[in-house]
Amino acid sequence: MKSKSHLLCFLLIFPMLVLADDMEKFYESIITLEMLVDHLGETAKVTKFTDQGMQFTHYYYKQLNRSFIVSDEIWEVCHTYEGATILSCFPCAKDEVSTQCP
């Protein structure tokens, strides 16, 4: 009986995991501002900011709990992720020195 309940649980959860992976791939496929607006609309909260001397725009879609950062110079999405916090497109903080950021 226990193995049947584990199997049932797996069968209920597995499609959600596959769907989540497909959604992540879909979000990663959005690479320009035009694609972002075409696919997700203009309902995002928009915040302009400067990071390491460059201008960016953060688009947050509350209903999706999804953020997209777009470079204002080339209008391309440089980062997409879950949550509303504004992150950076740069792998290293300004003046950071580490093994990853020599």
pLDDT digits over 4-54, tens only?
A: 554 445 444 444 444 567 888 989 999 999 999 999 999 999 999 999 999
Q: Which residues contact 81 (CB under 8 A, 6 or more apart)?
A: 66, 67, 87
Spatial distance between the Cα atoms of 61 and 22, rounded to a whole number of angstroms: 18
Span 48-75, mean pLDDT? Answer: 96
Average pLDDT of the segment spanning 64-74: 96
For 66, the token pair is: 């999804």
Average pLDDT over residues 71-85: 96
- Given this model, what pLDDT does residue 21 score? 72
Q: Name the residue ranges covered by the structural domains of the chain.
A: 30-102
